[in-house]
Amino acid sequence: MNCERDEEMLSRGLKSLAAEMESLEAPADVEMKVLKAFRARQVVVPIARRQSSSRYWLVAVAAMLLIAISVVVLRWTNRAADDPRQAVKQEETQPKPVASDNAKDQLAADVEKPAIDSLPQHARPKRIRPASSRRPASAQVANHVTNEIATDFIPLSYMNAASLQDGGQIVRVTLPRAALANFGLPVNMNRYNEQVKADVLYGVDGRAQAIRFVQ
Amino acid sequence: MTNGLTRRMNLKSELNDSELLRLMLAGDEEALALLYRRRQGGIYRFALQMSGSKPIAEDVTQEVFLFLMRDGHVFDPSKGSVSAFLMGVARNFVLRRLRTEQLLSPLGDDPDEDVSFNQPGSEMCPLEDLTRAETIESVRKAVLSLPAKYREVVVLCELQDVSYGETAEILGCAIGTVRSRLHRARALLLAKLRPATDVEETGSATVKSARCFA
């Protein structure tokens, strides 16, 4: 009985408290502050957002253009390197040396071919490959691009084809112009003291096999 | 000019809270003003009844609407109403504020901080007025002395007249939890209020209290 009465009194007290507070509201200055903050956001934030979004799109478009240009340039470069017709055209524009590496190698191979054919399979030496054939296509193109005139390879006294079986290496060196005379080539005495470029062909044994002069 | 503004405000006042929120997020200041005027009272009273401090209630009301401006897009209509969302935000701010300021016992010694809701000038006779004011004050103090998890259900269900379902949404718990907490909260309130009433009526508060809650 008392509990029910207490419950009733509590409910009445809570209702009175609720009714007492029902009319309470936040002061007007809170609304002013909220609206002021809203206006400040409207001024600052949307502009910042617009700037950031436009900047984002600019960066995105620039990145896309950069990627597209890079892809086009890469494809063009690769096509130029891979296209043999283009390489041939470029080669044709270059003055041909009197005898190229390939001709020299072919000559050596032709000389030794009958002897090699007579050998059993396991005893046959490996085919001599010219150094230029092992180079990447891009390197080959790069060589053609340079405007150089070269003499034929002049064999050195101890050259033999067997030392080139496993390949060789061409090394660009600079020599005094007087060295031309050692190979029976004419020397302009007015430019006697100048340097001249030369390619030295080394075998796998590390010995110089041939030399050509480049201008 | 003023008539046009008033007409626009009248048209918008017919919109529901979700539509006002959408307009507000799109930059409509009138929508914010309407939403504020519609919901600030409940939020302010909730914060005041939870904290017993007017400055805290004002701060919380302001923070709730600042939050709404900043993060209003997180509101999901499928999870509840805007008012429940706002009240949930207000609850979080109040609890954080109480924790921060260590005002879990809001019955401070400072008489200026202690809020009294008596409104002088009522038409009752002075004795009835005094009795009613004392009752309200004692209930208010009892509510404020409750632990937070019981206080919030009393404030929402008893003082704010929020439904159990909406209270569950605000608190993020089941309706059954709301019911059990409210039951427990009422028992605690009775325990706090009974000694005073018993002393007035019989003068043996301890005996009555022991008999009822044995």
Query: What's residue B102's pLDDT?
Result: 63
CA–CA dist B5, B144 (Å, integer): 42
3-state SS class at A175? strand
Partner-chain contact A9 B44, CB within 8 Å: no
Regarding predicted confidence, which is higher, B95 or A2? B95
CB hemisphere CA count around A78 (13 angstroms)? 6
Q: What is the mean pLDDT of residues B124-144?
A: 79
- End-to-end, the C-alpha distance of chain A in Å comes to 124
Does residue B139 register a pLDDT over 80? yes
Chain A residue with Cα closest to B70: A41
Sorting pLDDT into bands at 50, 70 and 90, what band is B45?
Answer: very high
Question: How many Cβ pairs closer than 8 A exist between chain A and B?
Answer: 102
Tell me, yes or no, if A13 comes closer than 8 A to chain B by beta carbon: yes
- What percent of chain B lies above the pLDDT cut of 90? 40
Regarding predicted confidence, which is higher, A137 or A207? A207
Q: How far is CA B116 from CA A187, B83, B112, B133, B146, in A?
A: 118, 27, 9, 9, 18
DSSP H or E segment with residue A199: strand A195-203
Q: Is the pTM of this model over 0.80?
A: no
Task: Tell me if A52 sits within 8 A of B84, measured CB to CB.
Answer: no
Residues 6 or more apart from B100 whose CB is under 8 A from it? none
DSSP assigned state of A202 = E
Tell me, yes or no, if B29 comes closer than 8 A to chain A by beta carbon: yes
3-state SS class at A211? strand
The radius of gyration of chain B's CA atoms, rounded to the nearest angstrom, is: 20
CA–CA dist B26, B23 (Å, integer): 5
Chain center to CA of A160: 38
Query: What's residue A65's pLDDT?
Result: 92
B134 forms beta bridges with: none
Task: Tell me if A130 sits within 8 A of A101, measured CB to CB.
Answer: yes
DSSP assigned state of A99 = S
Tokens of B199: 């002393």
Residues of B in contact with A42 (CB under 8 A): 27, 29
In this structure, of A185-199, B32-46, B104-118, the range with the lowest mean pLDDT score is B104-118
Tell me which residue of A95, A199, A195, A87 sits closest to A149, measured CA to CA: A95
Q: Choose from A50-59, B68-77, B94-103 the range with maximum mean pLDDT.
A: B68-77
Query: What's residue B194's pLDDT?
Result: 74
Tell me, yes or no, if B102 comes closer than 8 A to chain A by beta carbon: no
Tell me, yes or no, if A64 comes closer than 8 A to chain B by beta carbon: no
Does residue B152 register a pLDDT over 90? yes
Partner-chain contact A10 B208, CB within 8 Å: no
Partner-chain contact A18 B159, CB within 8 Å: yes
Tell me, yes or no, if B205 comes closer than 8 A to chain A by beta carbon: no
Sorting pLDDT into bands at 50, 70 and 90, what band is B43?
Answer: very high
Chain B residue with Cα closest to A9: B190
Q: Please spell the DSSP secondary structure of A6-23, one letter per residue.
A: HHHHHHHHHHHHHHHHTT
DSSP assigned state of B113 = T
Q: Where are the alpha helices (DSSP H) in B52-174?
A: 54-71, 82-101, 126-144, 148-153, 164-171
Query: What's residue B41's pLDDT?
Result: 92
Residues of A in contact with B194 (CB under 8 A): 6
Tell me, yes or no, if A62 comes closer than 8 A to chain B by beta carbon: no
Does residue A15 register a pLDDT over 80? yes
Partner-chain contact B117 A20, CB within 8 Å: yes
The tens digit of pLDDT for each residue in A172-183 reads 898 888 888 888
Query: What's residue A207's pLDDT?
Result: 81
Query: What's residue B101's pLDDT?
Result: 74
DSSP H or E segment with residue A197: strand A195-203
- What percent of chain A lies above the pLDDT cut of 70? 59
The tens digit of pLDDT for each residue in B9-25 reads 676 777 888 888 988 88
| Rounded (10°) CA dihedral B107, B111, B116, B121 | 160
Alpha-carbon distance A28 to nearest alpha carbon in chain B (angstroms): 10
Query: What's residue B174's pLDDT?
Result: 93
Residues 6 or more apart from A164 whose CB is under 8 A from it? A105, A108, A128, A203, A204, A209
Partner-chain contact B41 A24, CB within 8 Å: yes
Reported ipTM: the value is 0.73
Partner-chain contact A14 B139, CB within 8 Å: yes
Q: At B68, give phi and psi (nearest 5°).
A: -60, -40
Q: What is the mean pLDDT of residues A99-126?
A: 49
Chain B residue with Cα closest to A15: B159
Query: What's residue B103's pLDDT?
Result: 52
- What percent of chain A lies above the pLDDT cut of 90? 7
Tell me whether residue A87 is exposed, middle or buried, using C-beta atoms within 10 angstroms of its C-beta: 0 to 12, 13 to 18, 19 or more: middle
